[in-house]
Structure 1
Amino acid sequence: MEPIAAPLLQWFEQNRRLLPFRQEPSAYHIWVSEIMLQQTRVAAALPYYRRFIAELPTPAALAACDPDRLRKLWQGLGYYNRAANMQKAARILCERYGGDLPADYEALRALPGIGDYTAGAIASIAFGLPVPAVDGNVLRVFARLYDDDRDIMAPATRRAFTERVVAQMPADRPGPYNEALMELGALVCLPNAEPRCQDCPLAALCAGHASGRAASLPNKPPKPAKTVVPVTVALLTSPRGVLLQRRPAKGLLAGLWQPPAFEADHPLDAGELAARIAGLGLAVQWTGPLPASRHVFTHRIWQLSGWRGTVPDLPAPAGCVWADARELEQTYSIPTAFAFCFEDGTPH
């Protein structure tokens, strides 16, 4: 195939989005942005990015941040283990690298939460190292570019595509090249849609476009069906505020706060839920049902329902706190899955 770098980089210079981590492309900024963007669209992530960098401007600040505060800063982005791994990595940076990200691909790859792609993005964009940064956007671009219908989820296919990325990489501009491929996949060579070949700088070189198969690529196996789990929530208030319970330190939504919630093989009725609350040492008076909701995780779906209720003015049970409106807003990190509880306004 003819070289793609020249038309790709020319297109990138003229069409790239002016994003804050591109305008100030320090290694730390690139790291934070890439971790946030792993499971989040750019438009949704930008307010979080700006707030995060303003409060935690360096790896040292991230390393020293109270974990609850870090979870609050991350609230709404989901996949909270990303933030926990960033803090673990920041502490390693302070212990071993003087508080800076190392200009070394293998050293970056060894940090918690940093895989091949993120290490490649940081190394090439921040330090100019000639290493690839192959994410889903890049795999899609190369599947279409080479009219290659191999399963892109297969490790052998990923290795083959990565070799193609490296073969086309200009030695003097690895960072812009990697960014341009990502941008092309995000803006033109779109997923789950007809690719915008009319706007693509590589259309004349694209074998998938020539064969008419671009829209059907890449090839990847269907995702397995998600497990549906009924979850019943108790939104309990007293003169002290709203009752929140800390989730376990490991597992799904580790360490976050939520109204008491119970997984079962069926939605709990008011009597069953009252019995669960009695197990916390509280007698509840139900005031009405919560709206039904649904939250999708990577491997499961929560079918959410529940009840509002009031309880006596008592200290919070073990593992729980009473939170007033200000603390709900500023202090306690509550997963998006439970936003439906507060749709009618924050209880007082």
Structure 2
Amino acid sequence: MKENLEQIVQPLLRWFDQNARILPWRDQPTPYRVWVSEIMLQQTRVEAVKPFYQRFMEALPDIQTLANCEEEELLKLWEGLGYYNRVRNMQIAARTVIEEYGGKLPDDYLELQQLKGIGSYTAGAIASIAYGKVAPAVDGNVLRVISRVTLSREDILKQSVKRGMEQAIVEIMPADRPGAFNQALMELGAMVCVPNGEPHCESCPLKGLCLARKMGAMDEIPVKKAKKPRRIEEKTVMIIRDGEHLAIHKRPPKGLLSGLYELPNTEGHLTQNEAVAWIKEKGFSPIRIKGLETAKHIFSHVEWHMTAYLILIEDPQETGEYLFVEPEKTEEKYPIPAAFAAYARYMEIKLGQEKYREDL
């Protein structure tokens, strides 16, 4: 593998120098800025991340402010990116950095991986891009590029395969430009050797070296073993209004979407009569009820299949279970997951990436 890969270094760097996207975290690649961007970019498109990154950095410009941030504010800043444990882990790591490293992220690849939520990829990105250290940063884009260039038919979801590619990349990485090399591989996978659809082989600086292209095997590589199907959960969502206010509920401190606020909901798909009975059991007096469209939201291992009702009630009595808030207050204060975005217009708010749609 090494002999074939050594030839990609110079053409890849030349291509990157001419084609690298202008991104907000690239103009000042400090360790903190690289860290935040890489965590945000996990399973989220670059263009979608930009406004979230801007908002986050304005509110929490350094490790100290991240460490000190109140949880609800932290989750609100992350709202719309999903995978909320990532930002919780970032805060735990920030506090460790304050306590054990004097507020500065370590520059060692292995030491970075000891921090909560930082795996080999993120550690490699920080070490190489921010500190100029020779360290691999192998994500799905890189696995795809290397698999195609070398005609590897190994399952890229196996950790042993990833570790092998990390070692192969370290052996060819230019000591004077490790960060640029890692970013070039990521950029090529994101923009040219794309994950979905036909790769743009004619635009690829490695087209003369790529064995998958030579063999016409681009559609077959990379190889991924099929994942287990997601578990389906049926839910009925209630948009409960008393006119000016909206009912929300705080989720438990552990588990899926822990600590976030949600629309009241229950297991199963209720009929309209069952929904009315459910509302009455909660102590509310429904005036009108309207069935809404169904929706689906996909998590890593679970799918929510939702039906919903818009319910107008008489003036409610506040309970410990539900808060009745002005809808605009949820945009300011209460973090609500994008799982409910399909029903945001009935709440008169925008959720997740919809807040930034005009900017994307």
Tell me if both proteins adopt one fold, taking TM over 0.5 as the criterion: yes
CA contact (8 A) 2:67 2:95 kept: yes
CA contact (8 A) 2:241 2:247 kept: yes
How do 1:9-24 residues align onto structure 2 when only pairs under 5 Å count?
A: 9-24=13-28
How do 1:98-113 residues align onto structure 2 when only pairs under 5 Å count?
A: 98-113=102-117
- Paired residue total: 345
Deviation at 1:131, TM superposition (A): 0.9
How do 1:131-146 residues align onto structure 2 when only pairs under 5 Å count?
A: 131-146=135-150
5+ residue gaps, structure 1: none
What corresponds to 2:230 in structure 1?
A: 226
Q: Distance in 2 between the 1:212 and 1:164 partners?
A: 24
What corresponds to 1:346 in structure 2?
A: 348
What SS does the aligned partner of 2:25 have? helix
How do 1:171-250 residues align onto structure 2 when only pairs under 5 Å count?
A: 171-238=175-242, 241-250=245-254
What corresponds to 1:269 in structure 2?
A: 271
Deviation at 1:301, TM superposition (A): 1.4
- What one-letter code is carried by the residue in structure 2 that aligns with 1:62? L
Q: TM-score, normalised by structure 2?
A: 0.91
CA contact (8 A) 2:243 2:312 kept: no
Q: Is 1:149 aligned to residue 166 of structure 2?
A: no
Stretch deviating more after TM superposition (85-94 or 15-24): 85-94
Distance 1:319 1:107, change over 3 A: farther
Stretch deviating more after TM superposition (269-278 or 17-26): 269-278
- Aligned match for 1:322, one of 314, 321, 324: 324
Q: Is 1:50 aligned to residue 54 of structure 2?
A: yes
CA offsets 1:120-146 (integer angstroms, 9 cap, x no match): 100111011111000000100110010
- What one-letter code is carried by the residue in structure 2 that aligns with 1:52? F
Q: Distance in 2 between the 1:281 and 1:90 partners?
A: 44
Stretch deviating more after TM superposition (233-242 or 81-90): 233-242
Q: Distance in 2 between the 1:39 and 1:91 partners?
A: 25
CA contact (8 A) 1:108 1:119 kept: yes
- Aligned match for 2:258, one of 243, 250, 254: 254
- Aligned match for 2:33, one of 29, 34, 55: 29
What SS does the aligned partner of 1:271 have? helix
Q: Percent identity?
A: 45
CA offsets 1:241-269 (integer angstroms, 9 cap, x no match): 111000111111111111111123xx012
CA contact (8 A) 2:239 2:347 kept: no
What corresponds to 2:307 in structure 1?
A: 305
- What one-letter code is carried by the residue in structure 2 that aligns with 1:246? K
Q: Distance in 2 between the 1:25 and 1:159 partners?
A: 26
Stretch deviating more after TM superposition (337-346 or 137-146): 337-346
- What one-letter code is carried by the residue in structure 2 that aligns with 1:191? P
CA offsets 1:190-248 (integer angstroms, 9 cap, x no match): 11222211111111121112112123210111232222221101111225611100011
What SS does the aligned partner of 1:304 have? strand
5+ residue gaps, structure 2: 350-360
